[in-house]
Homo-oligomer: A and B are copies of this chain.
Amino acid sequence: MDAGYFLGLDLGGTNIKGGVVDDQGRPISSVSSPTLAELGPEIGLGTLKDLAIRAVEASGVGWEEILAVGLGAAGTLDASIGRIIDASNLKRWNGFAIAPRLAKILDRPTFLVNDANAAAFGEYWAGAGRMTESLVLFTIGTGIGCGIVESGRILEGRHGLGGECGHMTIQMEGGRPCSCGRSGHLEAYASVTSLVARAVEGLEIEPDSRLRSSWLEGCLSGAEIHRCALLGDPLAVRLIRETARYLAVGASIVMHTVDPDLVLFGGGMIAAGSGFLAMIREEIEKLTFPTAWEQTGIEFASLGGDAGFIGAAGWAKKAVNKMGVDGESN
């Protein structure tokens, strides 16, 4: 018997990604489209429908073989009723019960899940965390997305705030301001945005850094800072080493609370390579109990930008299996 396919959609503030995923977590197609968030959810539903049709067409799988739809979306959600509560990048969608509407349009059971949680579930199901039971994924970008998979389940939390680890306080006194309006959070130190901000601040003290010309040319980015660090620029080296430490502090907190098998780092920083990962590991060793650093895997994520829709599809698979049989199945 054919085990069926699942459609994963990943609704971000800028783009929607989607694809058909097989029963083992392998993506059969991968398509994307601009979100046009400012046009609001009614028009957005049409975009999602079009993208779903394109994803299924591109996969060569028949619609009748698509068993369920997983929809990852940014922000705080009420997954139980499929509603977006508060999404800073999709403000016009706040309060919108998107999953039941999409379920009707696509005529399939549709499950809403936070996008960062979906990415973590994707890595657990079919990526770097395939062999584990519990993992925490930090995705480093403009902000820091995070998802926790614990004993094979997404830790959604009781108010949709499970795994909001970008907003853990790591510096309570004199902390850097965070995008959320508070301060001292992991995101305020270790996101790409804050890495660049720290570089600009650093240039005031070290004006001879190579980063100065990047800045003047308007191309000061996370990748550029990593590149200059590899060339030995002292400011860039310091910034990267500090970033490794900040990420290690974040990892240490989840290792002393959730205590997963594996901590994963994803996002553009993966391009910095194994040297950066080694730096993070070195800092973690200083920060955690021996049992934690000896036994917890510290790795890069492996699914890249597809993790979100793959994980959303996997979550939908888990949800329909749960509905269909007595007890959970994965």
Q: CB-nearest residue of chain B relative to A261?
A: B158
Check A260 against B168 for contact (C-beta < 8 Å). Answer: no
Smallest Cβ distance from A187 to chain B, in angstroms?
11
Which residues on B sit within 8 Å (CB–CB) of A151? 153
How many copies the complex holds: the figure is 2
Q: Does A167 contact B (CB under 8 A)?
A: yes
A152 within 8 A of B: no
Kindly state the separation between the CA atoms of A153 and B58 in the bound complex, as whole angstroms. 43
Residues of B within 8 A of A245 (CB): 172
**Of B164, B173, B249, which one neighbours A256 at CB under 8 angstroms?**
B164
A260: chain B residues at CB < 8 Å are 157-158
Q: Which one of B76, B134, B256, B295 lies within 8 Å of A168 (CB-CB)?
A: B256
Interchain CB contact under 8 A, B249 and A289: no
Q: Give 1 or 0 for each of A155-185: 1 = CB within 8 Å of chain B CB.
A: 1111111111101111111100000101000
Report A's interface with B, CB cutoff 8 A: 76, 85-86, 133-134, 148, 150-151, 153, 155-165, 167-174, 180, 182, 245-246, 249, 252-261, 286-287, 289, 291-292, 295-296, 327
Residues of B within 8 A of A85 (CB): 291
Nearest CB on B from A243, distance (A): 13
Q: Are B158 and A259 in contact (CB under 8 A)?
A: yes
Chain B residue at smallest Cβ distance from A153:
B151
Given contacts A169-B252, A327-B327, contact A148 B287 (CB under 8 A): no
The one of B153, B160, B259, B286 that contacts A162, using a Cβ cutoff of 8 Å: B259
A144 to chain B, nearest CB (A): 11
Residues of B within 8 A of A292 (CB): 159, 161
Check if B161 sits within 8 Å of A289, measured CB to CB.
Answer: yes
The answer for the CA separation of A319 and B7 in the assembled complex, in Å, is 38
A295–B253 contact, CB under 8 A?
no
Task: Tell me whether A258 and B170 are in contact (CB under 8 A).
Answer: no
Do A291 and B172 touch across chains, with their CB atoms under 8 A apart?
A: no
Instruction: Report the separation of the CA atoms of residues A165 and B289 in the bound assembly, to the nearest whole angstrom.
Output: 12
A259 touches B157 (CB 8 A): yes
Say whether B133 contacts A158, CB under 8 Å: yes
23 A-B contacts, Cβ less than 8 Å apart? A150-B155, A156-B259, A157-B258, A159-B291, A161-B256, A161-B259, A161-B289, A161-B291, A164-B256, A164-B289, A165-B257, A167-B289, A168-B256, A169-B249, A169-B252, A170-B172, A171-B171, A171-B172, A180-B289, A182-B286, A253-B257, A254-B257, A327-B327
Complex alpha-carbon distance, A245 and B86, angstroms:
27
